[in-house]
Amino acid sequence: MIQDTLGHLELKVMEILWAHGESNVHDVVQRLGRPLAYTTVMTTLDRLFKKDLLVRRKWERAFLYAPRWTRLEWEQKRAGDFVAGFLASPQASGDLLISSLVDAVGQYDTALLDELERKIRTKRRELGRRGKT
C-alpha cells in the first residue's frame, strides 16, 4: 500500500522529480529554492524510496532517483487506498449514505464461503438438468 501522507518537504521533492524526472541529490537541492543541507535532502529521498514512491539506480558513486508513479497514478492509488480504508472503517457499516452489495466490515469465514459456492454450483447443475429435460 502506498504511504498516503507526505510531509511538506517530501511533497516538494516529489514535485521536483515529477517536473524534472530522474535527478540526483545535488540537482534536487538546487531546485528546492531554499537552503537545505545536502544530508537532509538525501535522507528525504531515501525515505521516499523506502515508501515505494521512488526508484533509484547508482551512477558514478551517486544515486539517481526517479518517481515510481506519475503524479496522476499516485493520486489515483492514494484515493484507491483511501476508499479501501474508508470501507474497512466502522463508519462504513452504518453511518454512510450508501447501499452496498455486501457489508465491508468484519470477517467472513472462508470455509463457509466455500460451502456457499458448492451450493451455488449444485443449484446451477440442477437448473442445467431441468433446462435439458
Partner 1 sequence: MTLSYFPRLLCISLATFFLVHLALGMGVALIARQATRLGERLRPHVAARCMLALRLLPAAGAAFIVVAVCLPSYLCLEPEAPTERVGFGCLLVALLGTALWSVSIARGLRAAAGSRHFLRGCERAGRPARLPGEHADAWIVDSAAPLLAISGIVRPRLLVSRSVVSALSAEQLAAALRHERAHWTARDNLKRLFILLTPGILPFAGGSRTLECAWKKFAEWAADDRAVAGDAHRACALAAALVRVARITAAAGDTDRLAARVDRLLRESPPTPAPQPMLALSGILLLAASLAVAILQPSALYSVHVALEHLVE
Give the interface with partner 1 as residue ranges (CB under 8 A): 75-84, 86-88, 91-109, 112-113, 116-117, 119-120, 123-124, 127
Closest to partner 1 by CB, 37 or 101 = 101
- For residue 2, the minimal CB distance to partner 1 (Å) is 12
- For residue 1, the minimal CB distance to partner 1 (Å) is 9
Rounded CA separation 95/90 (Å): 8
- For residue 133, the minimal CB distance to partner 1 (Å) is 15
Closest to partner 1 by CB, 62 or 120 = 120
Other CB atoms within 10 Å distance of the CB of residue 68: 17
Cell of 71: 503524479
**What's the maximum distance between 2 C-alpha atoms anywhere in the chain?**
83
Query: Are residues 54 and 16 in contact, defined by beta-carbon separation less than 8 angstroms?
Result: no
